[in-house]
Amino acid sequence: MMKRTLERVWSPQLRNRRSVDVYLPWSYPSGLRYPVVYMHDGQNLSDPATAFAGTWELEPTIERLADRGVEAIIVGIHNTEARLSEYSPFPDRRHGGGHADAYLEFIATTLKPRIDRLFRTRQGRDETITMGSSMGGLVSIYAYFRAPSVFGRAGVMSPAIWYGQHAVLDFIQHARTPRGRLYLDVGMQEGAGTVRDARRLGRLLVRKGFRRRSRAAAALRYVEDPHGRHQEAAWARRLEGALEFLLA
């Protein structure tokens, strides 16, 4: 896998800059086009020098998937000091925030056109995936329902459903159900509240028509990791299965 970094990418929506890492498959020189996975907290994916507490071990995971014919362009969007604000759809009484709409507009109207221009991407919604953990998981599930014309699939790891007094659940309840795929997981060692929230979200998705069948119009894979904690090592362990489902 080849890595390129776009430095100091300007967001007119958020009035800030950030690095964006782009991981290209080894087969990229072949001339093929690829689906794109937009991953939040991109500095944690592969480089121990920039990761907060270990990495997601992205590169060996992608190489194993490539051996099975599963390939994509991975876009790692670094976070900023305004991470909580940018990743939260609704403000929290204690932490504030609630600027996810501007963050998603940055991805959809500024970053994605640039990625599509610079690299050989498949640009349809079914080939455009958003993925993250914790607050990144929260903004990923929100993106799927808030911008269904852009994102046709989402990977939602250990989502911070609690942020904003669980308001995202009410939002999903009243949103229409787009076709596509959702991967949702949680670690059983993350705390009772986190597990309860993930299960609550899973039940809500089933009520909205998501089925645990890969060929369903709205397909869901839900995973509970018996030993998973709220940390990069656990998300790294589950990443391969998540991407395989989302890219199938």
| Helix/strand/coil for 228 | coil
Strands 153-157 and 128-133, sheet pairing: parallel
pLDDT of residue 181: 97
Residue 231 exposed, middle or buried by CB count within 10 Å (0-12, 13-18, 19+): middle
Rounded Cα distance between 104 and 140, Å, is: 9
Q: Which residues of 17-52 are buried (b: 16+ CB within 10 A; e: fewer)?
A: ebbbbbbbbeebeeeeebbbbbbbbbbbbbbeeeee
Residues of the chain with pLDDT under 50: none
pLDDT of residue 53: 80
If one counts every other C-beta atom within 10 angstroms of the C-beta of residue 113, the result is: 11
Residue 23's nearest CA partner among 41, 36, 40 is 36
pLDDT in tens, 19-35: 999 999 999 999 999 99
What pTM value is reported for the model?
A: 0.97
Indicate the DSSP class of residue 161. T
Q: CA 143, 125, 23 angle in degrees (round to 5)?
A: 85
> Would you say 154 and 129 are in contact if contact means Cβ atoms under 8 Å apart?
yes
Rounded Cα distance between 88 and 103, Å, is: 9
Take residue 165 and report the two structure tokens written for it.
């007094």
Packing angle between helix 167-174 and helix 135-146, nearest 10 degrees? Answer: 20
Q: Which domains does the chain have, with CATH numbers?
A: 2-247 (3.40.50.1820)
pLDDT of residue 22: 98
pLDDT in tens, 155-167: 999 999 999 999 9
What number of CA atoms fall less than 13 Å from residue 183's CA on the CB side? 21
